[in-house]
Amino acid sequence: MSNSKFVAGLILGAAAGVFIAIFANSDKGQELIDTVKDKASDLTDSVKDSVKGTYSDTSDEVSDWIEKGKKFLSMLEGKAKDVKSKAKDVADAATA
């Protein structure tokens, strides 16, 4: 890179920095900064609410599946007891 391009970039960067510093310290600049902060805060709150809602919905669905699984296992346990009882009756009848 040539020295003239470096110097031009340095001057342009310094000018941009001065402009931003002056603008940021002006009333309009402060309004813009406050607006950006408010929008960022609103966006953060919105994302938090969305995540909480998704977590709550997912948690409810998982709880429902767990409850259905418990009922299914209970039903299987009852059927297994019936089969065991019938097998015992058949075995007893065969040995009698």
Q: What pLDDT is stored for residue 28 in this prediction?
A: 84
Q: What pLDDT is stored for residue 1 in this prediction?
A: 60
* All structural domains of the chain with their residue ranges: 3-95
pTM for this model (two decimals): 0.46
Residues 24, 30 contacting (CB under 8 angstroms): yes
Q: What pLDDT is stored for residue 91 in this prediction?
A: 83
Longest dimension (CA), the chain: 111
pLDDT tens for 35-72 read 999 999 999 999 998 888 888 888 889 999 999 999 99
Sequence-distant (6+) residues with CB within 8 A of 33 are 24
